[in-house]
Structure formats: structure tokens, C-alpha cells
A = this chain, B = another copy of it.
Amino acid sequence: MTQDEQPAVGRPDRPRLTKDRILDEAVRLVERDGPRALSMRKLGERLGVTGMSLYRHISNREALMDALVDRIVDAMLERPDVRPRDDDDWRGFLTRLAHGVRQIALEQPSLFPLVATHPPSAPWLRPPLRSLRWVEAFLAGLLNRGFGDEGAVAAYRAFSSFLLGHLLLEVSARGVTTGPVDEPAPAAQAPSEVRATLDGHPALERLQPQLAEDHAESEFQASLTSLLDRLEHFNAIPQERAT
């Protein structure tokens, strides 16, 4: 389908510009150089073409960003980490999903902030599971495992907030840039500089070493468990008694 690239007329050198090729290259560019590096001109150049040529295939930079985020999000669906197993109960389903998304986020530290902060096309599409296909998979996964309608919808909202709050902080703390398109690296402020301004803050000064410790993984797990316990109440209503 998207396989054989036959040179349109008689141009055997480069494989012909296509929305797919543009987006693939855009993903690579952001992965390599961060979101700030993604300009129409630079993207064109990497495709062996001038920036203006892109406008034949994509209406403007904004549409490019939208399509780029969609592509990243839908690519997450194909990852085995997040694919539910038939013998997962609903807790297993959500646990696998949570850790899978976290894994992906940590592997793609410059893509995830984009997914997390780029404005969705509808207000009820909540990052990071922000595509129609994702919402469908999420809802169906819970409905098939005993959840009622309201429970599944409430779970989608709570789960989104949970993922966003934890992963956006963890990924950006790990370095790289958080700002979707602008903003540079955190610049790893010189420790002495922080020390200097720590003076009038006794609690902070005493606890700074503990604050700097990284317990992201275990905190993620603890918070997830707590969330699942809470969702149990939503699930209790429709599911008279299982089996």
C-alpha cells in the first residue's frame, strides 16, 4: 500500500513528497533535536526540498502540528506494552496501560510533552489518550470488564489526569524541554546557585536532599493503586456479581 515508491514521471532521485513522508520526518526531527527545531524550512530541507513545497501537502504549520501529534498518539496504540490481554481484569487492564504509557513517555522524552500539551481538537479528548481510537479502546476495555457507562467515562477522566500529572512532571524532570514548541532545556541550574538562595527557607534547606531524590516509579505505582481503589466504587454499581 504505502510500499513501492515509483518515481512519478522520470525523477528517480528522490521518492516524491507525501504527507506521510513529511510527518515521518517531522517525528524524527523532533525526536532528535526537540520541538523547537521543527520549522517548515528546516523540515523541507531534510526532505531534500524547500520549505515552501510543504504547503502543497499541508495547509500550514498548525495543521502540521495537529497531524504530527495525532500520528504520535496513534502510534502508541500499536505498541505491545499497552495492548490488553484477554485474561486481564479491569485492574490488570488499567495497570498495563498505565505502565505502558509511562514506558513510552520515558522513551520519547521530546515527543511526550507535545502529546501532553498540544491543544486537543475537542475538549473531551484528554491528553495523553487523546484520539478517538484511544478513547474507544479505553472505554471498550472497561465496558468489557464489567464497568457501566458512567463508570467508564469517569475512569477515562480520572485516568487522564493521573497520567498527565505524573508523566509530564517525570519526563520533564528527566531533562529535555517541556514547552511544546518553544522553551529551551532546563539548563541544570548550578547547585551553588540554589544553595545561595536557600537561606531564608529553613524547611527547604533541611529537606532539600530528600526533595532531590527520585522515587518516580514507586510514586507512580502508589498513586495508580490509589486511583484503582477509587475506581472500584464506580465499578461496584453495575456489576451485580461477576461470573
Contact = CB atoms under 8 A, between A and B. Distances in A.
A210 B150 contact: yes
B181 A179 contact: yes
Interface of A, secondary structure class, is helix
Contacts of A154: 219
A194 interface: yes
A80 interface: no
Contact of A165 (B162, B197, B198, B226): B162
Nearest to A62: B184
A133 B181 contact: no
Contacts of A186: 119-123
A145 to B, nearest CB: 12
Contacts of A187: 119, 121
Contacts of A194: 121-122, 132
29 contacts: A65-B183, A117-B168, A117-B183, A118-B183, A119-B183, A119-B184, A120-B186, A121-B189, A122-B186, A122-B212, A123-B174, A123-B186, A124-B212, A135-B201, A135-B211, A136-B200, A136-B204, A152-B203, A153-B210, A153-B211, A158-B219, A158-B223, A161-B219, A163-B165, A164-B168, A164-B169, A180-B181, A180-B182, A226-B230
Interface of A: 62, 65, 113, 117-124, 126-127, 132-133, 135-136, 139-140, 143, 149-150, 152-154, 156-158, 160-166, 168-169, 172-174, 177-187, 189, 194, 197-198, 200-204, 206-208, 210-212, 215, 219, 222-223, 226-227, 230
